[in-house]
């Protein structure tokens, strides 16, 4: 073979080898990319492993806090706040001081936030004949403290600004009888007959229980300079993950006092009357020396004042329009929790939700109730969902309507942020339950 022909053969072989090499490299690159980025790729597996590790770390931290709380048999003090027996502060960044919103976990894993009430805003040097329960001798002192607290929280005691619902915390019950118009006859301390004062068909407490609970709350606030509230709305045990089998989608679902939790990612415990909610709330105290209940009206007002004073939330954002920090029908809300769930008001179903919850006017065409703590936007001083999401039952007596005495506070997911801001006062009858009514406990 001639020299020139040999060069051409070698050149041809080199080009073929180069093309084959490039093809092989492209195949290897494609395989490598798929291995890295596919649904079962290395990066996906690494991300899944990281997320699983993060969840396990959070769960481990929670278990350690619960264990610590379970070993705290006596009241302790942390950063100037008295921590009840059966509870432990989280000590997490952003949760360790009153100014941030001090968070504690109890032995059952429920989370609580301390609501500061400055002692400078209450009468000085009062003494009580009975430090905890009801006492006629202490009534004058408690009335004096209440008057000062109302003055301190004056911006919120009428409910929404201009609403004019200056209601009081007083006992009431459904007598079980109807008037000539077929409306429930509601009795109060001043109108009830002796046997009716034992009824729990209104606020869930007898007259003596109500008076004792209220005085205990006032005395505790005076002594300790505040009280605890649930960090989240009341939720249903077993619904913080992706298992939705325990979801309540109708009022026919049974009431069970063992199911209530105050934890993130829970489906709200709705479809309860005020009396049922109070029964459930009473079960949440981690220690027998403390009382848990629904919030009284004055406590709700003090929470609003706390957000204003310590959280810097403008009054208008609390008592005029709370759309910047609540789940309302006219609000697009970024979902920040990996285990968030949304309830379709139209279809009456719960499903996992991520990304963004759209407003009714933004092509959603459905109102969406969210699981607890679904969006950090709804958090103020570590308290979630005080504005929007669910109306929350209180022990306040709604006197605006004689046959609808039950007072829910705050806003609801199916309403507008300016219609029902965080300080809003509503009223409902004693026997009805609703999708958009839940509750939040207080501890004192």
Q: Kindly indicate the confidence band of residue 26, based on its pLDDT and cuts at 50, 70 and 90.
A: confident
pLDDT at 348: 85
Percent of the chain with pLDDT over 70: 89
pLDDT at 6: 46
pLDDT at 45: 61
Distances (CA, A) of 334 to 106, 160, 325, 354, 403: 29, 26, 11, 8, 39
Q: 11 pLDDT exceeds 80?
A: no
pLDDT at 340: 97
Strands 226-230 and 111-116: antiparallel
Q: 48 pLDDT exceeds 60?
A: no
Mean pLDDT of 51-71: 75
Condensed to tens digits (0 to 9), the pLDDT of residues 325-340 reads 999 999 999 999 999 9
- Contact criterion met (CB below 8 Å) for 257 and 283: yes
56-65, 106-115, 264-273, 283-292: range with lowest mean pLDDT = 56-65
Q: What is the 3-state secondary structure (H, E, C) of the chain?
A: CCHHHHHHHHHHHHHHHHHHHHHHHHHHHHHHHHHHHCCCCHHHHHHHHHHHHHHHHHHHHHHHHHHHHHHCCCCEEECCEEECCCEEECCCCCCCCCCCCCEEEECCCCEEEEEECCHHHCCCCCCCCCCCCCCHHHHHHHHHHHHHHHHHCHHHCCCCCCCCCCCCCCCEEEEEEECCCCCEEEEECCCCCHHHHHCCCCCCCCHHHHHHHHHHHHHHHHHHCEEEEECCCCEECCCCCCCCCCCCCCCCCCCCCCCEECCCCCCECCCCCHHHHHHHHHHHCCCCCCCEEECCHHHHHHHHHHHHHCCCCCHHHHHCCCCCCCECCCCCEECCCCCCEEEECCCCEEEECCCEECCHHHHHCCCEEECCCCCHHHEECCEECCCECCEEEEEEECCCCCCCCEEEECCCCCCCCCCCCCCCECCECCCCCCCCEEECEEEC
Mean pLDDT of 174-202: 95
Name the more confident of 315 and 5: 315
Cα distance between the two ends of the chain: 104
Query: What number of other Cβ atoms are within 10 A of residue 137's Cβ?
Result: 9
pLDDT at 133: 87
Condensed to tens digits (0 to 9), the pLDDT of residues 350-391 reads 999 999 999 987 767 789 999 999 999 999 999 999 999 999
Q: 37 pLDDT exceeds 90?
A: no
CA–CA separation, 51 and 343 (whole Å)? 25
Condensed to tens digits (0 to 9), the pLDDT of residues 384-417 reads 999 999 999 999 999 987 899 999 999 999 999 9
pLDDT at 13: 58
Mean pLDDT of 90-112: 97
Q: 259 pLDDT exceeds 80?
A: yes
Condensed to tens digits (0 to 9), the pLDDT of residues 66-98 reads 889 989 899 999 999 999 999 999 999 999 999
Mean pLDDT of 218-230: 98
Q: Which of 228, 172, 177 is nearest to 197 (CA)?
A: 172
């Amino acid at each position: 073979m001639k020299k020139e022909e040999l060069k051409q053969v070698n050149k041809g072989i080199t080009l073929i080898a180069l093309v084959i090499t490039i093809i092989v490299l492209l195949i290897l690159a494609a395989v490598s990319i798929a291995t890295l980025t596919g649904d079962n790729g290395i990066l996906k597996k690494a991300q899944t492993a990281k997320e699983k590790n993060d969840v396990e770390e959070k769960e481990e931290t929670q278990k350690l806090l619960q264990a610590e709380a379970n070993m705290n048999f006596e009241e302790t003090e942390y950063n100037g706040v008295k921590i009840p027996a059966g509870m432990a502060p989280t000590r997490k960044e952003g949760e360790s001081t009153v100014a941030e919103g001090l968070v504690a976990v109890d032995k059952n894993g429920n989370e609580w936030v301390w609501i500061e009430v400055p002692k400078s805003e209450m009468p000085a040097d009062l003494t009580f004949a009975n430090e905890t329960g009801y006492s006629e001798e202490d009534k004058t002192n408690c009335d004096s403290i209440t008057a000062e607290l109302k003055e301190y929280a004056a911006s919120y005691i009428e409910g929404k600004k201009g609403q004019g619902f200056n209601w009081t915390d007083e006992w009431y019950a459904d007598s079980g009888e109807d008037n000539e118009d077929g409306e429930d006859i509601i009795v109060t301390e001043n109108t009830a007959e002796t046997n009716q004062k034992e009824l729990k068909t209104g606020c869930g407490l007898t007259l003596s229980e109500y008076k004792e609970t209220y005085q205990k709350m006032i005395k505790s606030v005076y002594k300790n300079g505040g009280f605890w509230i649930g960090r989240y709305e009341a939720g249903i045990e077993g619904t913080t993950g992706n298992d939705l089998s325990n979801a309540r989608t109708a009022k026919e679902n049974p009431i069970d006092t063992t199911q209530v939790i105050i934890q993130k990612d829970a489906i709200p415990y709705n479809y309860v009357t005020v009396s049922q909610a109070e029964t459930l709330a009473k079960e949440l105290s981690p220690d027998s020396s403390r009382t848990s209940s629904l919030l009284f009206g004055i406590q709700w007002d003090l929470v609003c004042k706390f957000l204003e004073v310590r959280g810097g939330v403008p009054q208008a954002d609390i008592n005029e329009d709370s759309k910047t920090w609540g789940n309302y029908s006219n609000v697009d809300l970024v979902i920040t929790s990996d285990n968030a769930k949304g309830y379709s008001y139209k279809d009456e179903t719960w499903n996992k939700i991520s990304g963004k919850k759209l407003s009714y006017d933004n092509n959603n065409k459905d109102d969406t109730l969210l699981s607890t703590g679904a969006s950090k936007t709804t958090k103020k001083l570590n308290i979630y969902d005080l504005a929007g999401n669910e109306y929350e039952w209180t022990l306040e007596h709604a006197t605006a309507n004689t046959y609808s005495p039950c007072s829910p506070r705050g806003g609801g997911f199916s309403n507008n942020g300016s219609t029902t801001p965080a300080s809003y006062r509503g009223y409902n009858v004693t026997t009805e339950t609703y999708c958009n009514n839940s509750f939040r406990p207080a501890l004192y």
